[in-house]
Structure formats: structure tokens, C-alpha cells
């Protein structure tokens, strides 16, 4: 082995030490489980069958579950992107004092000092039938009946996700916007470009890597989650993961494994589409 390749292997060792035991081996176990049969008591029969995949792929339920999950993903992605982008834009281009900008940026992270679950659950007393929002609206006479759609609904799920995940958009977008040379913007304005043109032709294209990174975080977290859906929809909606979690609950490991493999494949496709649209590596090292 040449010295050079030896050094290269040394460089990737830390990454391998994390990836192999915590990603590669578990996913192999799941892959193997997905082609086995179950004895119905949590035991796996060592055979080879594709029946689990056929079952998952030909079921209308899989389609409904993905439709529900993708709906939450798309809505969450859209709102976190709009809010995250605006917050980052404000911090980078409107707050002139850099120290202030960084302090404000840190303040954005304050809600994240507490757990996800607490942040989600604290919405419940706010949005309920007798919650703060409904009481306020009733009190001011804007509505006569409490709005039930606020809690235990898709609205509640999306609110909780947006609240939890906007920071994952803010951070990378802030990061990539901060690299934009302010003189480029000034030059554009001097040459008569409108604010909209600056946004469309300079800022958005140059924040692409941040947007892509944020999107990867948000999409993969929402698609892989079930707890928020379960609690905030009041059990009224299901997601891909909640369905196979239920399967694990009754020890139907192979079918759960097949669903998990399918979800992994779909996530890989989605993420590679994002990466294809934006060459993050080139954007970052630029």
C-alpha cells in the first residue's frame, strides 16, 4: 500500500468508526429481517421471501401513509423555508451591527435549549378548545364557537413541526448568506437593479447550498418521525413510521423491516434529488 492511500484511510477512519457500527450494521440487520418470515411470536424463520415487500408495495395503505407523510413534509418544508429564509435574511442584511446579528442569531436558538417534546406539548394548552387562542378569539367576539381545527388536526401537526424545525433552516441559510460579499449587492443596486432583482438574481442563488442543507434536515426529520403526528393529530392521523412502529409492537418484525427499507430508499431518492439540484460541495468550497 502506498503511503498516500494509507494516509487517506487514516483520514476516513473516524467516520468509518461511526458509520459502520451505527449505520451500516443496523441497516444490514434490517435488510436481512425484511426477507425473513415471522412465526407470529417474535421469532424469525430463516428463509428467503419477498412476500413482505410485495405486501408493503401492493397495499393501498402504503400509498395513503406516504400521501399523509409527504403532505406533512411538504407543508413543513414550505413554512420552515419561508420563515427560515426571512429570519436569516433579516439577520444578515438588515442588522448592520455584526455583534447584534450574532446575538440575535443565538437568541433564535434559545427555544431549543429545552426538549422537542416539551416544545410540542406546550402547544396543546394553547390550541385546545378551551385553550388560550380560542379563549382570546371568543373573548374578542371574532368567533362564536371554539375552533376545533386548531388542535388534534393536521394544522396542529404542521405548527408543531414548523416550530421544531425552523432552526434547521435558519442555521445553514444564515451561514451561506453570511458568505455573500455585500459589495456584490451594492454593485447591483448601483447599476439599477431593484430589490426584487437582487433577491432573485443574487441572494437566492447564492444561498442555494444553505437552502438545500436545511431542506435535507427538515425532510429527513419529518419523514422519519411519528411522535409529533401521533400526539398533535390526537391519533387522528398516521405516518409511515407510526404504522411500522405499530407492527413492531405486535412483533411483526419482517413487515416492519420491509417498510423501513422502503422508507430508507425513498429518502435516499429525495435527498439525491436535492443534491442533484444543488451541488452542495461545490457551493460550500467556492
Is 43 an interacting residue with respect to other proteins (CB under 8 A)?
yes
Nearer to other proteins, 19 or 54 (CB): 54
d(CA 104, CA 126): 26
For residue 163, the minimal CB distance to other proteins (Å) is 19
Buried b or exposed e, range 209-218, using 16+ CB within 10 angstroms:
bbbbbbbbbb
Binding residue (CB under 8 A) for other proteins from 255, 260, 262, 263:
255
**Span between the terminal Cα atoms of the chain, in Å:** 33
Segment interacting with other proteins (CB under 8 A) among 127-135, 163-171, 182-190, 206-214: 127-135
Residues 133-152 close enough to bind other proteins by CB under 8 A: 148, 151-152
Binding residue (CB under 8 A) for other proteins from 16, 23, 59, 184:
59
Is 264 an interacting residue with respect to other proteins (CB under 8 A)?
no
d(CA 108, CA 264): 31
For residue 247, the minimal CB distance to other proteins (Å) is 6
CB 164 within 8 A of CB 205: no
Report the 10 Å Cβ neighbour count for 15: 9
Segment interacting with other proteins (CB under 8 A) among 121-129, 179-187, 197-205, 275-283: 121-129
Nearer to other proteins, 21 or 235 (CB): 235
Q: DSSP class of residue 38?
A: E
Sign of the CA dihedral running 97, 95, 180, 191: negative
Is 124 an interacting residue with respect to other proteins (CB under 8 A)?
yes
H helix or E strand, kind and range, residue 169 = helix 154-178
Is 203 an interacting residue with respect to other proteins (CB under 8 A)?
no
CB 212 within 8 A of CB 286: no
Is 34 an interacting residue with respect to other proteins (CB under 8 A)?
no
Report how far Cα 171 is from the mean position of its chain's Cα atoms.
14
Give the interface with other proteins as residue ranges (CB under 8 A). 38, 40-43, 59, 61, 64-65, 68, 124-125, 128-131, 148, 151-152, 230-231, 234-238, 242-243, 245-252, 255
Amino acid at each position: 500500500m502506498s503511503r498516500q492511500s494509507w494516509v487517506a484511510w487514516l483520514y476516513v477512519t473516524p467516520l468509518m468508526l461511526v458509520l459502520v457500527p451505527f449505520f451500516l450494521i443496523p441497516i444490514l440487520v434490517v435488510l436481512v429481517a425484511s426477507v425473513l418470515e415471522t412465526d407470529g411470536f417474535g421469532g424469525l424463520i430463516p428463509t428467503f421471501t419477498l412476500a413482505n415487500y410485495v405486501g408493503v408495495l401492493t397495499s393501498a395503505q402504503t400509498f395513503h401513509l406516504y400521501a399523509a407523510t409527504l403532505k406533512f413534509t411538504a407543508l413543513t418544508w414550505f413554512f420552515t423555508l419561508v420563515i427560515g429564509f426571512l429570519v436569516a435574511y433579516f439577520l444578515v442584511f438588515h442588522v448592520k451591527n455584526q455583534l447584534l446579528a450574532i446575538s440575535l442569531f443565538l437568541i433564535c436558538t434559545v427555544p431549543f435549549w429545552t426538549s422537542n417534546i416539551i416544545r410540542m406539548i406546550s402547544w396543546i394548552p394553547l390550541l385546545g378548545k378551551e385553550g388560550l387562542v380560542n379563549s382570546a378569539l371568543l373573548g374578542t367576539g371574532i368567533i362564536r364557537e371554539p375552533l376545533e381545527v386548531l388542535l388534534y388536526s393536521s394544522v396542529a401537526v404542521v405548527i408543531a413541526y414548523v416550530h421544531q424545525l425552523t432552526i434547521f433552516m435558519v442555521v445553514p441559510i444564515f451561514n451561506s448568506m453570511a458568505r455573500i460579499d455585500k459589495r456584490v449587492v451594492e454593485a447591483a443596486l448601483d447599476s439599477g437593479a431593484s430589490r426584487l432583482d437582487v433577491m432573485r438574481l443574487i441572494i437566492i442563488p447564492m444561498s442555494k447550498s444553505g437552502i438545500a442543507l436545511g431542506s435535507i434536515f427538515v425532510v429527513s426529520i419529518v419523514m422519519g418521525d411519528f411522535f409529533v403526528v401521533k400526539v398533535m393529530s390526537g391519533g387522528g392521523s398516521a405516518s409511515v413510521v407510526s404504522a411500522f412502529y405499530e407492527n413492531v409492537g405486535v412483533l411483526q418484525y419482517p413487515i416492519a423491516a420491509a417498510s423501513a427499507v422502503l422508507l430508507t430508499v425513498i429518502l435516499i431518492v429525495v435527498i439525491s434529488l436535492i443534491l442533484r439540484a444543488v451541488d452542495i460541495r461545490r457551493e460550500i468550497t467556492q
